[in-house]
Amino acid sequence: MKNFLEISQEVAEALAQGKPVVALESTIISHGMPYPKNVQTALEVEQVVRDNGAVPATIAVIGGKLKAGLSHDEIEYLGKKGLEVSKASRRDLAVLIAKKQDGATTVAATMIIAHLAGIHVFCTGGIGGVHRGAQTSMDVSADLEELAVTPVAVVCAGAKSILDIGLTLEYLETKGVPVIGYQTSELPAFYTRKSGFNVDYKIDTPGEIATILKAKVDMNVGGGMLIANPIPVEYSMDKEYIDGMIDKAISEAEDKGVKGKEITPFLLDKIQKITGGNSLFSNIQLVMSNAQLAAKIAEAYANE
Ligand code: PSU
Ligand code: MN
């Protein structure tokens, strides 16, 4: 079974020694940002994880191998190929293994590979969720189903308003996923610190989050946790401005009939283009902030 899982030497050693490890996804590299910003950001995020005492494990599928821990060359390869690398979620993994192909892993697929490797803490920017209009499109991200079954804590900056945030929270409740606000009782909305919706629990320290994660993992009943870390105030965007831009992107997607796995990357790309890069800057800053928090949680978890 394990011959398709490839853990880098550094990550394998850290795990064997019980040292803190933080998983990082790769859809954000190939599909979430333009080259070369995507590669620079991916390497910087790894550095932030290191600076905060943990070992980064960037996750992707390369040549049919499920990889936990990428070299700089592999990150450069994924970033340069960009949209040519297919976006890989749970449904895609077996096919990519069999065909020996590459895949940029979503939150769902990254959680699976992190879990196979024995990593419990994962840092990303934004998760997939219940899309606006899901009542008829039934577009619910596989990320939410993964959070329901796979014991990995996902640190994010909340849910973008490309999604129906209220329905996303309802779905997570149904699926038994605890939504934790880091030092906040309100779910952040990615570019902004507020969404108008409450989290389930406000927790103020990485140590307490690690204790909850330990209990969750030790119960051994499956399922992950969502940790929402608000974007630092100095990088947060004006809510009306960004919501207006998101609405514009959504109506363009509707006009063009974009659906399925294409919709999220389409909207992310459109938003970046119509905000002239402002949102990309905020996006990068919130990922760095999440990396810092994830490393601290991983460190506390290693000491549990
Ligand atoms: N939302 C963001 N940024 C992202 C994504 C979502 O704000 O980069 C990416 C993540 O990789 C996430 C995926 O797992 O999109 C969700 O895609 P879908 O909605 O098709 O499940
Ligand atoms: Mn979808």
Measured distance CA(286)–CA(28) in Å, rounded = 13
Q: How far is the CA of 255 from the centre of ligand 2 (A)?
A: 17
**Closest atom of ligand 1 relative to the 31 alpha carbon:** 8
CATH 3.40.1790.10 fits 1-119, yes or no: yes
In the residue annotation, 80 being an active-site residue is answered as no
pLDDT at res. 258: 96
Ligand nearest 108 Cα, by number?
Answer: 1
Residue among 67, 87, 160, 296 flagged as catalytic: 160
Digits of tens for pLDDT over the chain (304 positions)?
568 999 999 999 999 999 999 999 999 999 988 899 999 999 999 999 999 999 999 999 999 999 999 999 999 999 999 999 999 999 999 999 999 999 999 999 999 999 999 999 999 999 999 999 999 999 999 999 999 999 999 999 999 989 999 999 999 999 999 999 999 999 999 999 999 999 999 999 999 999 999 999 999 999 999 999 999 999 999 999 999 999 999 999 999 999 999 999 999 999 999 998 899 999 999 999 999 999 999 999 999 9
Three-class SS state of 44: helix
Q: Is the dihedral of CA 145, 146, 147, 148 positive or negative?
A: positive
In the residue annotation, 65 being an active-site residue is answered as no
Ligand 1 touching residue 46 (CB < 6 A): no
Cβ atoms 15, 118 nearer than 8 A:
yes
Q: What residues contact residue 259 under an 8 Å CB cut-off, 6+ apart? A: 137, 139
Ligand nearest 33 Cα, by number?
Answer: 1
pLDDT at res. 102: 98
Architecture of the domain made up of 124-304: 3-Layer(aba) Sandwich (3.40)
Measured distance CA(270)–CA(275) in Å, rounded = 8
Domains 1-119 and 124-304 fall in the same CATH topology? yes
**What is the token pair recorded at 9?**
């030497």
**Closest atom of ligand 1 relative to the 159 alpha carbon:** 7
Ligand 1 touching residue 143 (CB < 6 A): yes
**What is the token pair recorded at 203?**
């927790």
Note if the bond before 151 is cis, omega within 30 degrees. no
Global pTM?
0.98
Residue among 6, 25, 46, 76 flagged as catalytic: 25
Q: Which of 106, 112, 162 to mutate to test the pocket of ligand 1 (most atoms within 8 A of CB)?
A: 106
Ligand nearest 103 Cα, by number?
Answer: 1
Residue with CA at minimum distance from ligand 1 atom 4: 126
pLDDT at res. 20: 98
Ligand 1 touching residue 261 (CB < 6 A): yes
Where in the chain are the domains?
1-119, 124-304
